[in-house]
Amino acid sequence: MAEGVKLFGALLSPFVYRVIWALKLKAIPYEFIEEDLPNKSPLLLKYNPVHKKIPVLLHGDKPVCESMIIVEYIDEMWPQNPLLPNDPYERALARFWVKFAEDKGTSVWRLFRVKEEELEMTRKETLEMLQNVEEHGLGEKKFFGGDSVGMADIAFGSVVYWLEVVEEVLGGGVIFEAHKFPRLHAWMKNFKQAPIIKENLPDRDWLVTFFKRRREAMLAASA
């Protein structure tokens, strides 16, 4: 490989895992550089001076920012194991669901951050997001694009995996219930069992412990 690949990130971030999954599915070797988010490194600030956020992919001397933009870059740069379908219409559908995950998946991150009095409204937004995907996103397919993990699966995989973590952190009722979302549950089972994904999932118990502590600290600070 002519140019090295580095990924700046933190292993608690769903957005970083999107990039990890794409790199692993493409079998691209890379160096992972762990960021201490309260004390961001000079290199991270250099390579993402606008948003100052992870993830950042550095390919040679070229930085690429924003998780799904990075995934698209990876797919275009390394054509093996494509993450988008060949058919133009199917590609458009995949991009639609990626954008939907980007726009509506934010309700999951808000669930974690909001105060108790705002939880119910955010739960409703999350339920509506899941219902739309259940009814219109998957049909009878194993994955969004058919029989293999693709770009839309990467986008939604991070949303749903972290939703399950956030539900456990919050307690007080499950949002992502199997009887309400049978297609999504079947899809998530397939996603987590795909060999590359299974080998590169963060430890759920570790995430739950981390985010419980983080939420307790946030609520105490706002009290």
**For 111-141, what is each residue's pLDDT tens digit?**
888 887 888 899 999 999 999 999 999 888 9
Q: Is residue 160 part of a domain?
A: yes
From residue 118, how far is each of 8, 122, 139, 213 by CA, in Å? 33, 7, 33, 20
Q: Is residue 117 part of a domain?
A: yes
Co-location of 65 and 94 in the same domain:
no
Residue pair 43/93 in contact by the 8 Å Cβ criterion: no
Range of the domain at 95: 88-221
The whole-number average pLDDT for the span 34-42 is 95
* Residue-level pLDDT at 220: 85
Co-location of 102 and 63 in the same domain:
no
CATH of the domain at 42: 3.40.30.10
- State the DSSP H helix or E strand holding residue 3, giving kind and residue range, or none if neither: none
DSSP reduced 3-state for 15: helix
C-alpha to C-alpha distance for 2 and 35, rounded to whole angstroms: 25
Task: Look up residue 73 and give its two tokens.
Answer: 């870059």
- Threshold 0.75, pTM exceeds: yes
Co-location of 62 and 121 in the same domain:
no
DSSP reduced 3-state for 131: helix
User: How many domains does the structure of the chain reveal?
Assistant: 2
Tens of pLDDT, residues 86-98: 999 999 999 999 9
C-alpha to C-alpha distance for 150 and 91, rounded to whole angstroms: 10
C-alpha to C-alpha distance for 121 and 182, rounded to whole angstroms: 23
Residue pair 54/42 in contact by the 8 Å Cβ criterion: no
C-alpha to C-alpha distance for 16 and 77, rounded to whole angstroms: 18
Residue pair 169/208 in contact by the 8 Å Cβ criterion: yes
